[in-house]
């Protein structure tokens, strides 16, 4: 079935709500239907006890969700954008992520947090960050960044069966993109990367919207006779290193691509793992194509220049292969 990324998430949420312990909570998710219309109509369909509008207090709503999870419920929290998760950083990092370990495994915190990441829509620096990499550095959290409608649905379905917190970053630019999605409960494993395109000459590694941009870069490279394999990481924590290592062992060249700058990303950790564990498979250094290390500009032209593009990715691949 061909549906949008948004509709895929809506389908998954309806599946989750079949579990009586699940409820949704967040800012404007009820009467307004969510900032990106993901929960439009849910309040009328499920009622205010299952779809809860909360005050504009990210720390408060995430803390309440932690308590609800510890008490036996399974809250699904929507934080309007990833920028606002910083206001709940203490609750997420010092409490949600640590309670299971600090209790010797006796207490779980079943909690799904959905939020919106991404730049490219002229929303200004404070609303255009890609800081999911920060959360991917936190033991106790699982961090997902789906790029396709099928993965947006399947990863969210799988998150219900995780006993501890799952952080899902949904790129705003993907909500209207379409893709084939199984009408049934098509689960996607949380710890497995996806090969979007097979190739033999070079591996392009990315997640979220950049995985789609890498597909376009692969098309450009194909015009020059270069066969690029595109890996969608899907899960930032835990990393599926086996799939990444297998691809690099085949192509011997790799480009890591991220929308965010290098200082706030997961790419450096992945590159370090490759260098440490399969260095002998590399025929050249891994290239790292990332956003510029600046607050994302509001100006449309400057913003576009601050974000990796198919051309910049293809250019990096050419430079690596020619080196």
Do residues 38 and 170 share a domain?
Answer: yes
Do residues 74 and 163 share a domain?
Answer: yes
Q: CA-CA distance, 207 to 185, in Å (whole number)?
A: 23
pLDDT at 120 over 90: no
Do residues 201 and 141 share a domain?
Answer: no
pLDDT at 276 over 80: yes
Average pLDDT in the chain? 96
Query: Which among 114, 117, 181, 186 has a CA at the least distance from the CA of 149?
Result: 181
Last residue of a domain, one of 180, 210, 237: 180
In this structure, is residue 144 part of a structural domain?
yes
Residues found in the chain: 323
Q: 202-206 and 254-261 as β-strands: parallel, antiparallel, unpaired?
A: parallel
Q: CA-CA distance, 168 to 165, in Å (whole number)?
A: 10
Do residues 176 and 37 share a domain?
Answer: yes
In this structure, is residue 10 part of a structural domain?
yes
Do residues 60 and 108 share a domain?
Answer: yes
For the stretch 71-110, pLDDT in tens is 999 999 999 999 999 999 999 999 999 999 999 999 999 9
Do residues 110 and 75 share a domain?
Answer: yes
Read off the pLDDT of each residue in 57-64 and give the average, rounded to a whole number: 97
Q: Identify the residue with better confidence: 323 or 154.
A: 154
Q: CA-CA distance, 173 to 120, in Å (whole number)?
A: 8
pLDDT of residue 185: 72
In this structure, is residue 186 part of a structural domain?
no
pLDDT of residue 258: 97
Do residues 173 and 230 share a domain?
Answer: no
Contacts of residue 102, defined as CB under 8 A and 6 or more positions apart, other chains included, come to none
pLDDT of residue 250: 98
Among 65-79, 120-134, 222-236, 264-278, name the one with the lowest average pLDDT: 120-134
Do residues 202 and 150 share a domain?
Answer: no
pLDDT of residue 235: 98
Say what angle helices 209-223 and 310-322 make with each other, to 10 degrees.
60
Read off the pLDDT of each residue in 302-322 and give the average, rounded to a whole number: 96
DSSP secondary structure of 182-221: -SS-----TT--EEEE--SSEEEEE-THHHHHHHHHHHHH
SS3 annotation, 257-273: EEEEEHHHCCHHHHHHH
Do residues 30 and 152 share a domain?
Answer: yes
Which residues participate in catalysis according to the annotation?
58, 127
Do residues 17 and 113 share a domain?
Answer: yes
pLDDT of residue 183: 80
Please give the share of the chain, as a percent, with pLDDT higher than 90.
94
Q: CA-CA distance, 37 to 42, in Å (whole number)?
A: 10
Read off the pLDDT of each residue in 8-29 and give the average, rounded to a whole number: 98
Q: Using 50, 70 and 90 to split pLDDT, how confident is the model at 263?
A: confident
205: tokens are 């590694």
pLDDT at 138 over 80: yes
For the stretch 156-194, pLDDT in tens is 999 999 999 999 999 999 999 999 998 877 899 999 999
Domain count, the chain: 2
Cβ–Cβ contacts within 10 Å for residue 69, how many? 24
Do residues 288 and 139 share a domain?
Answer: no
Domain that holds residue 283: 194-322
Q: Using 50, 70 and 90 to split pLDDT, how confident is the model at 121?
A: confident
pLDDT at 264 over 80: no
285: tokens are 């250094």
Q: Are 26 and 168 in contact (CB under 8 A)?
A: no
238: tokens are 């835990």
Do residues 163 and 308 share a domain?
Answer: no
In this structure, is residue 129 part of a structural domain?
yes
* Residue 204: CATH number of its domain: 3.40.50.920
pLDDT of residue 125: 86
Contacts of residue 71, defined as CB under 8 A and 6 or more positions apart, other chains included, come to none
Query: Which among 202, 322, 323 has a CA at the least distance from the CA of 256?
Result: 202
């Amino acid at each position: 079935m061909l549906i949008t990324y948004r509709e895929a998430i809506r389908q998954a949420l309806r599946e989750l709500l079949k579990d009586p312990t699940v409820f949704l909570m967040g800012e404007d998710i009820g009467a307004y239907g969510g900032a990106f219309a993901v929960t439009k109509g849910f309040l009328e369909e499920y009622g205010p006890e299952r779809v809860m509008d909360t005050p504009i207090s990210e720390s408060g709503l995430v803390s309440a969700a932690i308590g609800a999870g510890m008490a036996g419920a399974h809250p699904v929290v929507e934080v309007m954008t990833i920028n606002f998760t910083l206001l709940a950083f203490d609750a997420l990092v010092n409490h949600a992520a640590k309670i299971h370990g600090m209790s010797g495994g006796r207490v779980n915190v079943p909690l799904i947090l959905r939020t919106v990441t991404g730049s490219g829509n002229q929303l200004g620096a404070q609303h255009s960050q890609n800081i999911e990499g920060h959360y991917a550095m936190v033991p106790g959290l699982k961090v997902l960044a789906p790029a396709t409608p099928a993965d947006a649905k399947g990863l969210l379905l799988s998150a219900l069966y995780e006993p501890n917190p799952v952080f899902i970053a949904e790129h705003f630019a993907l909500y209207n993109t379409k893709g084939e999605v199984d009408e049934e409960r098509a689960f996607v494993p949380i710890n497995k990367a996806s090969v979007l395109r097979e190739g033999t000459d070079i591996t392009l590694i990315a997640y979220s919207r950049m995985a789609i941009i890498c597909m376009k870069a692969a098309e450009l490279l194909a015009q020059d006779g270069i066969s690029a394999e595109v890996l969608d990481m899907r899960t930032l924590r835990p990393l599926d290193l086996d799939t990444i290592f297998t691809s690099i062992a085949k192509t011997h060249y790799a480009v890591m691509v991220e929308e965010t700058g290098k200082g706030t990303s997961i790419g450096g950790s992945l590159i370090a793992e490759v260098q440490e564990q399969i260095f002998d498979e590399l025929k050249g250094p891994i290239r790292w194509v990332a956003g510029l290390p600046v607050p994302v500009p509001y100006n449309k032209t400057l913003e576009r220049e601050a974000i990796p593009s198919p051309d910049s990715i293809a250019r990096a691949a050419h430079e690596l292969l020619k080196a």
